[in-house]
A and B are shown apart, each in its own frame.
Chain A
Amino acid sequence: KAGVTQTPRYLIKTRGQQVTLSCSPISGHRSVSWYQQTPGQGLQFLFEYFSETQRNKGNFPGRFSGRQFSNSRSEMNVSTLELGDSALYLCASSEQGGYGYTFGSGTRLTVV
């Protein structure tokens, strides 16, 4: 069974640009969540999607948005990038009623 796939693995962007990150969950998993990991703040929740519906959103500015497609694949978008957006962005998927999210390896975003 393939794991959670995140693309790209690494990304360098300039302040003010926008970026789109992609996540393909494990086959059959309909729940997808996104987290931001930074050294100072640890893992912070961004969004949770289930069957194309956003069920929960973390405390991030409106520049952070996401969506889920009918095949459960998800994307997150960050507009008007700031230096502080540099982080590891992690996607996780689970079955409804699953016993633990499976995380992808993440996308390392560097904003310069």
Chain B
Amino acid sequence: DQQVKQNSPSLSVQEGRISILNCDYTNSMFDYFLWYKKYPAEGPTFLISISSIKDKNEDGRFTVFLNKSAKHLSLHIVPSQPGDSAVYFCAASDRGSTLGRLYFGRGTQLTVWP
């Protein structure tokens, strides 16, 4: 049973515009959320995280928003750059920032075109 869902397998955005990647979860015990980026033949790279006590976290061009009542989070990338083209994974933990097991979505392939 997929507890973390990324319903869009792909997203295509023009360079300079905003990319919005979405993620939904079903387990109300999840209290820490992360986004990872993955290039082919490499391991996932940690991008940004958010605790359930917050509704927004920013780091440079990346902002993650959390809507607990809707069990929904999103990653905004502004402005998008061609180097952002990769697969983005949403992940969740039910052990706060001590992480433990992560539950991953199946990923969204982001393509940023010039």
A-side residues, CB < 8 A to B, are 4, 31, 33, 35, 41-45, 48, 55-56, 58, 90, 92, 94, 96-106
Most buried by A among B97, B99, B105: B99
CB-based contact A4/B34 at 8 Å: no
| Stretch touching chain A among B14-22, B37-45, B66-74 | B37-45
CB-based contact B43/A90 at 8 Å: yes
Q: How many residues of B contact A (CB 8 A)?
A: 22
Contact of A43 among B45, B46, B89, B99 (CB under 8 A): B89
Q: Within B23-67, which residues are at the interface with A (CB < 8 Å)?
A: 34, 36, 41-46, 49
CB-based contact A56/B100 at 8 Å: yes
Within the assembled complex, what's the spacing in Å between the Cα atoms of A105 and B46? 13
Q: CB of B76 within 8 A of chain A?
A: no
B-side residues, CB < 8 A to A, are 34, 36, 41-46, 49, 89, 91, 97-107
CB-based contact B44/A103 at 8 Å: yes
Contact of A45 among B45, B49, B98, B102 (CB under 8 A): B102
Within the assembled complex, what's the spacing in Å between the Cα atoms of A105 and B38? 10
Residues of A within 8 A of B102 (CB): 33, 35, 43, 45, 101
Within the assembled complex, what's the spacing in Å between the Cα atoms of A97 and B100? 10
Within the assembled complex, what's the spacing in Å between the Cα atoms of A42 and B44? 12
B88 to chain A, nearest CB (A): 12
Residues of A within 8 A of B45 (CB): 103
Closest residue of B by beta carbon distance from A45: B101
CB-based contact B99/A31 at 8 Å: yes
Contact of A42 among B34, B42, B98, B105 (CB under 8 A): B105
Residues of A within 8 A of B99 (CB): 31, 94, 98, 100-101
Contact of A97 among B44, B97, B101, B106 (CB under 8 A): B97
